[in-house]
Amino acid sequence: MMRKLSLLLLGAMLGAGTVTLATQSRLLSTTSAVAAASDTYRQLNLFGDVFEKIRSDYVEKPDEGKLIESAINGMLSGLDPHSSYLDSKSFRDMQVQTRGEFGGLGIEVTMEEGLIKVVTPIDDTPASRAGVMAGDVITHIDDEPVQGLTLNQAVEKMRGAVNSSVRLKIARKGASDGLELKLTRDVIRIRSVRSRNETDVGYIRITQFNEQTFEGLKNSIDSLTKDIGGDKLKGFVIDLRNNPGGLLDQAIAVSDAFLERGEIVSTRGRNADETQRYNARAGDLTKGKPVVVLINGGSASASEIVAGALQDHKRATIIGSRSFGKGSVQTIIPLGSNGAIRLTTARYYTPSGRSIQAKGIDPEIQVLNEVPAELKGKDETKGEAALKGHLKNGEDEQGGSSAYVPPDPKNDKQLNYALDLLRGVKVNDASSAAKQPDKTKQN
């Protein structure tokens, strides 16, 4: 009996000791959190002191709003190269870019000798209907001289509310008198997808991933399949070279266009419960036709999601040079009338679990274009691994690779290799493209 009582007392004492230790642990944790918070507030007080000193003692009266913006930007850019603050105007511009449509005239322009030169009018837009031509030089916008404006300022003046009007003065080569045109703004859709018929191969170029991208891809596949004919069509070349990325959901939709099942990409944040996996749904828009994807050092982010998914599922052969290596996800967090912050919230991984961050996608077939002598040394992108403050991978990080694409398709070795592969002129044993039954060389 005494022994039993002794054991009970011992158990009670141990239990009491455990409670005491747990309580001490909580107290230590609370004390540590309070100390950390106190240190943070001291740092915030330091920021306030510096801000007041600048306001009162700087040689010129500073713009206080810009001081705060610069401080926020410094805080975000100190995290990684892709986190940043967007003021209200930058936020609107970003929304235009990702939405892929805006009120405007429908012309692609560039700056030349201080004036705005038309690269090309977009089909079926106010500019093309009014007769604006490639090579035209815009000298005035609403009677204001363009000379002295930046390209962005001039573009901003030409954009505006749908159904509003704008006057352009244009100098045209061969025309003695300048032209004056009055145009009414309309909804302009940014073409992120362009395609062409390569006789027996469908070529599709995706320049960015905005809200119009999947629809543009679907229309291109349907149109090329109809034009070439299902029996004659050898396959598709998807050109993602120098595509900097864009919307995650569009990268998933583009990947899904070629896959019947399986994971496309996963995103993993700080906490395990934040992991999200995105899977393909049944339905291959090409009906199993061989696919070749072209990438280079300028292919980043959403482009790498597509290339990585199709590579892991062995659905496409990847040709070109190693991609940029941006394997992080940015979330846009609106701040009401004060713009927004772009914050890195996760890393993304290919279906096989590869992190692309600071590493990139390596093509199965490396093909480099010949770079003109004047561009040698300037054609290579340094890649994510060269960016100051980039997120570390934990694996071997890789430098950049060539991003040069010849303007003339005849000189484009990467494209011509892809066409030869699909036609059976060249064979890659590991590729689905090599399984084409027709091995006849075509000129």
* Catalytic position from the list 84, 195, 299, 301: 301
Beta strand segments in 122-192, E:
137-141, 144-145, 165-171, 179-184, 186-189
Query: Could you give the domains of the chain?
Result: 106-189 (2.30.42.10), 193-435 (3.90.226.10)
Q: Which residue has the tokens 């229309």?
A: 219
- Dig out the tokens for 276 from the structure: 């999200």
Output phi, psi for 117, to 5 deg. -110, 135
User: Could you tell me how far CA 176 lies from the centroid of its own chain?
Assistant: 44
Question: What are 329's strand-pairing partners?
Answer: 346
User: Distance (Å, rounded) from C-alpha 344 to C-alpha 363?
Assistant: 27
Q: What is the pLDDT along the chain (443 residues), one digit of tens a residue?
A: 444 334 333 333 333 334 455 555 555 556 666 666 678 888 889 999 999 999 999 999 999 999 998 999 899 989 999 999 998 888 988 888 888 888 899 888 888 777 788 888 887 889 989 999 888 899 999 999 988 888 878 888 999 889 999 999 999 887 777 889 999 999 988 889 999 999 999 999 999 999 999 999 999 999 999 999 989 999 999 999 999 999 999 999 999 999 999 999 999 999 989 999 999 999 999 999 999 999 999 999 999 999 999 999 999 999 999 999 999 999 999 999 889 999 999 999 999 999 999 999 999 999 999 998 887 776 678 889 888 899 998 777 887 788 899 989 999 999 999 999 999 997 765 444 444 433 333 33
* Among 402, 387, 197, residue whose Cα is nearest residue 295: 402
Residue of 80, 136, 256, 312 with catalytic role = 312
In degrees, to the nearest 5, what angle opens at C-alpha 292 toward C-alphas 353 and 419? 160
pLDDT at residue 33 in the model: 65
Give residue 428's pLDDT: 67
Distances (CA, A) of 74 to 30, 39, 70, 253: 31, 20, 6, 35
Residue 113: its pLDDT value, please?
A: 74
Catalytic annotation on 326?
yes
Residues 376 and 371: their CA atoms lie apart, in Å, by 6
CB 249 within 8 A of CB 276: no
Q: Is 312 a catalytic residue?
A: yes
Tell me what pLDDT residue 378 has.
67
Contact in structure between 411 and 417 (CB atoms under 8 Å): no
Annotated active-site residue 301? The verdict is: yes
pLDDT value, residue 198: 97
Instruction: Please identify which residue in the block is written with the tokens 């362009």.
Output: 194
Determine the Cα–Cα distance for residues 138 and 146; give it in Å rounded to an integer. Answer: 7
Spot the catalytic one: 321, 326, 328, 401.
326
DSSP-derived pairing of the beta strands 263-268 and 340-349: antiparallel
